[in-house]
Structure 1
Amino acid sequence: MTPINPGSVVFENVRKNFGAFTAIPDLSLTIEPGTLVTLLGPSGCGKTTTLRMLAGLEHPSAGRILIGGKDVTMLPANERDVSMVFQSYALFPHMTALDNVAYGLESSGLKRGQARERAEEGLKLVGLGGMGPRLPAELSGGQQQRVAVARALVLEPQVLLLDEPLSNLDARLRRRVRTEIRDLQQRLGFTAVYVTHDQDEALAVSDQIIVMKDGEIAQKGAPSDLYDHPASAFIADFMGEANVVSCDIVGIEDGEAMINIEGLLHRVAGRNIRKGPAQLAIRPNAITLSPMNGGAFGGQVIHTAYLGDHVEYEVKTSKGTLFVVDPFMESAFKPLTDVEIGFKDRGIAIIGS
């Protein structure tokens, strides 16, 4: 049950107004066939509006939307070759899992026997073979979510849309189901557009992440690229916590910058860098702490929290309070301890120079 033709998605200068309010000022993006792309951002950033325009549930105020090269800008939802998995699952409570999956096929004109046969294949595909006779109330949250995914996939859409699909699941189940969704997408090769506000979710499932802010693309790229090379303080903090501090770039060689923080020198990879004042994003687990021994950059521990497999610190420094995650629990520093600060090679990025 492989989608016949995984489609590309193109937004060309799309604008969306709600009365006097402009939710999406000017959006242009391309999603390649067979990829899973996540629209990520805080509440109100425009990601859900973008997905709804792609689904045909909203129409742009200007610009064009193409699916598989076809202009679908003003087509209604039922005339677009897309399927959507909703946040609420939207299963019919009085129908069995099998009937829920078969419903869209029967509505599209497929004979009942053929529809039920394909629905059974869809349930097997998502690991629910044999559970067709169960009602939604007899299924767990994760199983209901998989029924919703199967219902969408059996229609063999060019593009599968997923709107916060894991938000109703607990943390452990979210991890399992997101892995299942990613495995399905890679195995079947369909195009997927996935909306979430959860950074870990986006990092785990995506070929590409598009981070949105105020209806615009703040940065897009592979998960590792956004995490390791954030373009701004907003991206650095949104893609996992980051300490943003000022520094000076005192040297540049072979695409690396020598940065100076209070006399502490450290090499950092950079793009379009130049000497002078700069901003640095430092991941909490990229900071090392050691007993104060005359080092150039020091601080004082003001809070210590033991979290089982690591210790979290707040360290007061001349550059502000740093949040630090340290796996070495055996030698945890107590509050009011003076410490020397160092950096690891990975987890530090220049975000402005």
Structure 2
Amino acid sequence: MTTFKPGSVVFEHVRKDFGSFTAIPDLSLTIEPGTLVTLLGPSGCGKTTTLRMLAGLEHPTSGRILIGGKDVTMLPAHSRDVSMVFQSYALFPHMSALENVAYGLESSGLKGKEAKEKAEEGLAQVGLAGMGHRLPAELSGGQQQRVAVARALVLEPQVLLLDEPLSNLDARLRRRVRTEIRELQQRLGFTAVYVTHDQDEALAVSDTIVVMKDGHIAQSGAPRDLYEAPASSFIADFMGEANVVPCSVVSVEGGMALVRVGDLEHKVPSSGARPGSAQLAIRPGAVGVSERNGSGLAGKVLTSAYLGDHVEYEVETAAGTLFVTDHTVTTPLPSQTEVSINLRPRGIALIAA
């Protein structure tokens, strides 16, 4: 049975320059043992560079990296007690699934029979028992990904690194495999650092999400905290689509703020805001749309699209154009319909200006 001694990860004021370009200006981050932490952000934000420095494929310009309390800053990749699952899987096409999983074990000095037994156990852990004889070409994309995960896990690393592990799978398979990875991590208790640009993926698998922008940590926290209490308009829009509109904080009392958007008033958690100008992040599903009835915020439908289980609208209002998803209406409101906008209790977050 594969056993793990999950390690912590610490970045201490890590900087990474590529010539005159600074990819990571000053990164400090602590990852607790046995947790799955996702580095999330748009292309060029520094998440992959951060992962490569942790793996030993790049070295920091300055600062320190510790794994399990040990300074590994300048150690080569093979001396770090980490394993990596690559975006491309990187399986040997001429080797069977079992041989692929056993390869790293044999390279680390484990003898043939023992390596084979441990590789079979690794395949069983990821749900591929009895399939070790198959070549990669005889496996589905999801099965190949699981072979890559098994190959990494049988080495019993302190930290498992996953670099965009689902990007080569179709949408339905991505949902299934991300669930399998999360269940495996929770069952075995290893530390995992997971890189993705996909917000849904990050929300589904993570204990903690670290959102990066321009080499800095824009915000980190539990998935629900980032989604429901974004610290900036960037986080609000990146962690699931949001309409970010200007508002006025009328009053703050008991942790709740009364905010005004045009003629519409609404109460939301104050998030430390004070009376005055601010921004309101409004999720598309938090907007109620009805034919104009004299209440709420006045608007006009610009576009209307029926998508089976919901209708998508673009609505012009005094606060700007709002993107709306409505799961309650059975007949879409046509373009140019005069409407009233009201806000639902959830899906609204106040961002201090």
Which stretch has the larger CA shift, 258-267 or 174-183?
A: 258-267
Rounded to whole Å, the distance in 2 between the matches of 1:331 and 1:339 is 14
Aligned to 1:134: 134
Kindly provide the CA deviation profile for residues 98-151 of structure 1, in whole angstroms up to 9, marking residues without a partner as x: 000000000000011000000000001000000000000000000000000000
Cα drift, residue 3 of structure 1: 3.6
- What residue number does 1:75 align with? 75
Deviations 1:147-185 (A, max 9, x none): 000000000000000000000000000000000000000
Q: What secondary structure does 2:235 align onto?
A: helix
Alignment check: 8 A CA contact 1:3 1:157 kept: no
Q: Determine if contact 1:282/1:347 at 8 Å carries over to the other structure.
A: yes
- The equivalent residue for 1:263 is 263
1:346 — aligned with what? 346
Contact 1:262–1:296 under 8 Å retained in 2? no
Whether 1:124 aligns to 2:159 is: no
Q: Tell me which residue corresponds to 1:20.
A: 20
What one-letter code is carried by the residue in structure 2 that aligns with 1:96? S
Q: Which residue of 2 aligns with 1:35?
A: 35
Does structure 1 conserve the Cα–Cα contact (< 8 Å) formed by 2:288 and 2:341? yes
State the shift of 1:235 in Å.
0.5
TM-superposed CA distance for 1:273, in Å, is 1.0
SS in 2 for 1:202: helix
Matches of 1:349 and 1:270, distance apart in 2: 9
Q: 2 CA distance for matches of 1:58 and 1:6?
A: 22
In structure 1, the residue matched to 2:285 is 285
Please say if 1:167 is aligned against 2:160: no
Q: Which amino acid aligns with 1:206?
A: S
User: Alignment partner of 1:174: what SS?
Assistant: helix
Q: Which amino acid aligns with 1:58?
A: E
Distance 1:125 1:270 in 2: 46
Corresponding position of 1:241: 241
Counterpart secondary structure, 1:294: coil
- Paired letter, 1:249: V
Q: Paired residues, what number?
A: 353
Q: CA deviation at 1:340?
A: 0.4
Distance 1:273 1:74 in 2: 44
Instruction: Name the CA distance, whole Å, in 1 between partners of 2:199 and 2:128.
Output: 28
8 Å CA contact retained: 2:298, 2:338: yes
Cα distance in 1 for partners of 2:230, 2:3 equals 35
| TM-score, normalised with respect to structure 1 | 0.99
Give the superposition deviation at 1:330: 1.0
Deviation at 1:271, TM superposition (A): 1.6
Instruction: Quote the Cα distance in structure 2 between the aligned partners of 1:50 and 1:180.
Output: 25
Q: Which residue of 2 aligns with 1:209?
A: 209
For residues 124 and 325 of structure 1, what CA distance do their matches in structure 2 show? 43
**C-alpha displacement of 1:295:** 1.5
C-alpha distance in 1, partners of 2:346/2:232?
Answer: 17
Which secondary structure state, in structure 2, belongs to the residue aligned with residue 236 of structure 1?
helix
Name the SS of the counterpart of 1:103 in structure 2.
Answer: helix
**Structure 1 residues 245-324: aligned runs within 5 Å:** 245-324=245-324
- % same residue: 75
- Kept in 2, the 8 Å contact 1:86–1:162? The answer is yes
Say if 2:4 and 2:189, in contact at 8 Å, map to a contact too.
no
Q: Distance in 1 between matches of 2:296 and 2:235?
A: 29
The SS at the match of 2:281 is strand
Q: Which residue of structure 1 aligns with residue 94 of structure 2?
A: 94
Q: Which secondary structure state, in structure 2, belongs to the residue aligned with residue 345 of structure 1? A: coil
Q: CA RMSD in A?
A: 0.7
Superposed displacement of residue 290, structure 1 = 1.3
The corresponding residue for 2:158 is 158
The answer to whether the aligner puts 1:65 opposite 2:54 as a matched pair is no
Question: Aligned equivalents of 1:267 and 1:3: distance in 2?
Answer: 50
TM-score between the two structures when normalised by the length of structure 2: 0.99
Distance (whole Å) between structure 2 residues aligned to residue 49 and residue 264 of structure 1: 45
Counterpart amino acid of residue 89 in structure 1: Y
Q: Give the distance between the partners of 1:170 and 1:304, measured in 2 at CA.
A: 28
Letter in 1 for 2:216: E
Q: Partners in 2 of 1:11 and 1:147 — Cα distance?
A: 30
Counterpart residue type for residue 204 of structure 2: A
Q: Is the 8 A contact 2:305 2:332 kept in 1?
A: no
* Inter-partner Cα distance in structure 1 for 2:345 and 2:294: 22
CA contact (8 A) 1:162 1:194 kept: yes
Q: Distance in 2 between matches of 1:343 and 1:2?
A: 51
**Structure 2 residues not aligned, in runs of 5+:** none
Q: Given that residues 3 and 158 in structure 1 are in contact (C-alpha distance below 8 angstroms), is that contact kept between their aligned partners in structure 2?
A: no
Quote the offset at 1:329 in angstroms. 3.5
Could you tell me how far apart the structure 2 residues matched to 1:30 and 1:280 are? Answer: 31
1:261, distance to aligned residue in structure 2 (A): 1.2
> How far 1:296 moved relative to its partner?
4.1
Worse-matched range after superposition: 295-304 or 201-210: 295-304
Is the counterpart of residue 334 in structure 1 residue 315 in structure 2? Answer: no
CA distance in 2, matches of 1:163, 1:33: 19
Instruction: Name segments (4+ residues, structure 1) moved above 6 Å.
Output: none
C-alpha contact 1:37 1:207 (8 A) present in aligned 2? yes
SS at match of 2:178: helix
Give the aligned residue type for 2:252. Answer: I
* Structure 2 residue matching 1:106: 3-state secondary structure: helix
What are structure 1's unaligned runs of at least 5 residues?
Answer: none
Distance 1:296 1:59 in 2: 56
